[in-house]
A and B are shown apart, each in its own frame.
Chain A
């Protein structure tokens, strides 16, 4: 079987044409689901905005279910398949293992995604993303997700197979590149996640068919969240890899220490899957000991890993910039960064937003006792819009500005708009997360159609500040939808009408990674021209101070509520 390769004349990256096509199709499928997710996002926001309240209750819950599934699963995992193929076949400059299996992955995910969406839009499956039993959806709701998950599992198999091919064909010398290592972390977590998903969704499908009588509601929650939360950990591993990738491409940055960064990824593999507990902290079925141990990812070792990446990614950029001579003061390296390049600006907003907003709120929310202040409130979606949207989605958007010319061989149209887009989307989404968390702190529920409780036997009046926060949620939500829509528009128009670029020479032989190229042999820690990263130290300490203050403020809040024991 002949494999053909092309070498991108602009980046030097080499694409196996089979992998090339698979990446493009997966990425495009992801973007189309993002479009559906974006439209549903707008409808959700306009309904929760108290002054507008667009949809009736039944349609609201239907649309909210679609928004969760289409964004959290379909958009992100399709894009992640492209990332996996890129990180294996392209970065290792080898052929993709079993491209036909790649197509099985793609079509299973397409069929599964459409099937689940049909179930949702038929109206009988408004069970939310989480589909807690005993609330029941139509059988094809579950079946679609199962097919999709099988597809994703096959995708990870193709990825692992490609790692084997690269090793056997000796296309690289030594260890995997860090970005590929990070992608491997994502793939390993994905296997665990999908296994958990199968363990709960297959019985649930049987139950919806009437073949099983009952599924324990607490057990469902525990196993389901090993899918639900762990799948977000795939995203973390994937977008951290993309941060390193962007740092490498935009700055030629080298990890401060391969050992530290890889060890941090290893901590993810060891501990991230415990995160199921984060959703069960206010549940009856688990003991306090179980909750404390698991919610902390076994003593916060996965949080430690994220804090390490939060240091080493900007640190790598700082070191690279300082070597180029941006050495004045603490922050010249950052001021002189290419802020007009959406690949970098998107990545950096993703890094800061994920760390300061998503990370800190996540740890506080995931503290056993403090969780009672926030469980199921609007704080929860506030938190995960900072992690999954500002963190993951924005990182994926920023890397796309690189992929359109490299992978799709088209020039991005409207470069000025491309420059603005990461700021518009990233900042509005960050503010949106903050005001959502504000509303949640005041008690406002998530997944709730009417904060005025029309039709209830009693009245309860939320404080005026809660209405203010929900109004701001509406405003910044709409701006964020515009920012996301702008990205979709720019990408789709560029793919259709952008100037065609030269794809580069093709060959039926891969060229391996040159051993010890000039770029690869930059200085390392401990060598003569090692540079310090004082600016990054200041950033990291700032993060820590915010973290500590916010953490203890919440303990203070907790100490003021009713006594519970």
Chain B
């Protein structure tokens, strides 16, 4: 019962380490370094990195920017709630606002084109979960996150809210069209 007794050798730190242990420590260390380098490598050569472009904002400011974006670029409305479908202009700037309990507005994008999507929430934390492609980004009130996205395939995508935001959380479903 020795792991529950003091080390039998007083100078345990002077005991040699067996070859098998050294080998495993070495392998594990190399693997750790590979995993570390992999993240850095992906920043240089990968095509899926989360943007670092972030601004502090306020509810009013972000609401106003989104409203201006919607007013300028709406191409039609959908559903009984008259949700605007907005096609960003040639500069590719788009706003997507998360609130209790909707994603506003609906975006219409083109495959292969790169957009700067400004994400923020105006009340609680929300979760941007793009399905079925499965991209998940946290959306936090007070922070305007400018994410560059390049849709790859045409289709109708859903934005599920995947950060718990109260009783209507499950009804918070948004939409992105990719033409």
B43 part of interface (Cβ distance < 8 Å): yes
Cα separation A517 to B165 with both chains bound (whole Å): 60
A248, A255, A282, A374: which has the most chain B beta carbons within 10 Å?
A: A282
> Which of A21-29, A151-159, A444-452 is near enough to bind chain B?
A444-452
CB distance from B164 to the nearest CB of A (A): 4
Known: A447-B164, A519-B5, A559-B48. A564 touches B147 (CB 8 A): yes
Residue-wise, chain A 419-453 has the 8 Å CB interface mask toward B (1 for contact) of 00000000000000000000001110111111101
A260 and B2 CA atoms in complex are apart in Å by: 15
Assess whether B61 is interfacial by the CB under 8 Å rule.
Answer: no
Which B residues are in CB contact (< 8 Å) with A304?
Answer: 25, 28-29, 32
Distance to closest chain B CB from A538 (angstroms): 11
Q: Is the CB of B140 within 8 A of A376?
A: no
> From DSSP, what is the main secondary structure of chain A's interface residues?
loop
- Write the nearest CB–CB distance from A450 to chain B, whole angstroms: 4
CB under 8 Å from chain A, chain B span 114-129: 114, 119, 123-125, 127, 129
**Which residue from chain B places its CB closest to the CB of A313 in the assembled complex?**
B3
In the complex formed, the residue of A with least CB distance to B11 is: A174
Among B67-104, those with CB < 8 Å from A are 79-81, 83, 102
B24 proximity list for chain A (CB < 8 A): 307-308, 311, 537, 540
Q: Report A-chain residues with C-beta under 8 Å of the C-beta of B174.
A: 458
**Min C-beta distance of A163 to chain B, whole Å:** 13
> Which label, helix, strand, loop or mixed, suits the secondary structure of the B interface?
mixed
A257 on interface, CB distance cutoff 8 Å: yes
Asked whether B6 lies within 8 Å of A173 as measured between CB atoms, the reply is yes
In the assembled complex, A548 has its CB within 8 A of some CB on chain B: yes
Contact A372 B17 (CB under 8 A): no
Once the chains are docked, how many angstroms separate the CA of A316 from the CA of B3?
Answer: 10
User: Among the interface residues B2, B9, B148, B172, which one has the most CB atoms of the partner chain A within 10 A?
Assistant: B2
Q: Mark B30-72, 1 if CB is under 8 A from A, else 0.
A: 0111011011101100111111101000000000000000000
- Interface membership of A500, Cβ < 8 A: no
What is the minimal beta-carbon distance from A262 to any residue of chain B, in angstroms?
Answer: 8
B80 to chain A, nearest CB (A): 8
The residues of A that contact B13 with a CB separation of less than 8 Å are: 258-259
Q: Is the CB of A282 within 8 A of B138?
A: yes
> Which of the residues B17, B40, B114, B141 comes within 8 Å of A134, measured between beta carbons?
B141
User: Do A513 and B6 touch across chains, with their CB atoms under 8 A apart?
Assistant: yes
> Chain A residue with minimal CB distance to B147?
A564
Neighbouring B residues of A451 by C-beta, 8 Å: 170
Q: Which of B5, B52, B140: most chain A Cβ within 10 A?
A: B5
- A143 within 8 Å of B (CB atoms): no
Smallest CB–CB gap between A271 and chain B, Å? 11
Interfacial chain B residues near A287, Cβ < 8 Å? 52
Complex Cα–Cα for A259 and B4 (A): 15
A372:B135 contact, CB within 8 angstroms:
yes
Query: Which A residues touch B35, using CB under 8 A?
Result: 296, 300, 303, 363, 367, 551
Set of chain B residues within 8 Å of A299, measured between Cβ atoms: 32-33, 36
Instruction: Kindly state the separation between the CA atoms of A443 and B157 in the bound complex, as whole angstroms.
Output: 13
Q: Which residue of B lies closest to A452 (CB)?
A: B170
Interface pick from A187-195, A227-235, A468-476, A523-531: A523-531
What are the residues of chain B within 8 A of A551 when measuring CB–CB? 35
A386 to chain B, nearest CB (A): 19
Is the pair A283, B140 in contact by a Cβ cutoff of 8 Å? yes
Cα separation A376 to B160 with both chains bound (whole Å): 11
Does A485 belong to the interface (CB within 8 Å)? no
- Residue from the set A172, A368, A533 with the largest chain B CB neighbour count within 10 Å: A368
Contact of B135 among A373, A520, A537, A547 (CB under 8 A): A373
Contact between chains at B15 and A259 (CB < 8 Å): yes
Least CB distance from B116 to A in Å reads 10
Report B67 CB to chain A, min CB distance, Å: 19
- In the assembled complex, which residues on chain A have CB atoms less than 8 Å from the CB atom of B149? 562-564
Shortest distance between the CB of A476 and any CB in chain B (Å)? 22
B158 & A525 in contact (Cβ 8 Å cutoff): no
Instruction: Give A250's nearest chain B residue, CB to CB.
Output: B1
A253 at the interface (CB under 8 A from B): yes
B6 touching A174 by the CB < 8 A rule?
yes
Contact A458 B1 (CB under 8 A): no
Whether the pair A375, B134 counts as a contact (CB closer than 8 A) is no
Report whether A91 and B160 are in contact in the complex, using a CB–CB cutoff of 8 Å. Answer: no
Known: A134-B141, A283-B140, A369-B39. A312 touches B21 (CB 8 A): yes
4 cross-chain pairs, A with B, having the tightest CB-CB distances, nearest first: A563-B150, A300-B32, A460-B158, A284-B145
Given A374-B136, A460-B173: 9 more A-B contacts, CB < 8 Å: A132-B125, A217-B143, A249-B1, A283-B138, A307-B28, A375-B137, A448-B162, A448-B164, A457-B81
The 16 sampled A-B contact pairs (Cβ below 8 Å) are A61-B169, A132-B124, A132-B163, A177-B3, A177-B5, A179-B3, A247-B3, A288-B49, A311-B24, A369-B42, A455-B168, A456-B170, A457-B79, A457-B80, A537-B23, A562-B48
* Interface residues of B, Cβ cutoff 8 Å to A: 1-10, 12-13, 15-18, 20-21, 23-25, 27-29, 31-33, 35-36, 38-40, 42-43, 46-52, 54, 79-81, 83, 102, 114, 119, 123-125, 127, 129-145, 147-152, 158, 160-175
State the A residues within 8 Å of B (CB). Answer: 57-58, 61, 91, 128, 132, 134-135, 172-180, 216-218, 221, 244-245, 247-249, 252-260, 280-285, 287-288, 292, 295-296, 299-301, 303-304, 307-308, 311-312, 315-316, 363, 367-369, 371-377, 441-443, 445-451, 453-460, 462-463, 513, 516-517, 519-522, 524-526, 530, 532-534, 536-537, 540, 544, 547-548, 551, 555, 558-559, 561-565
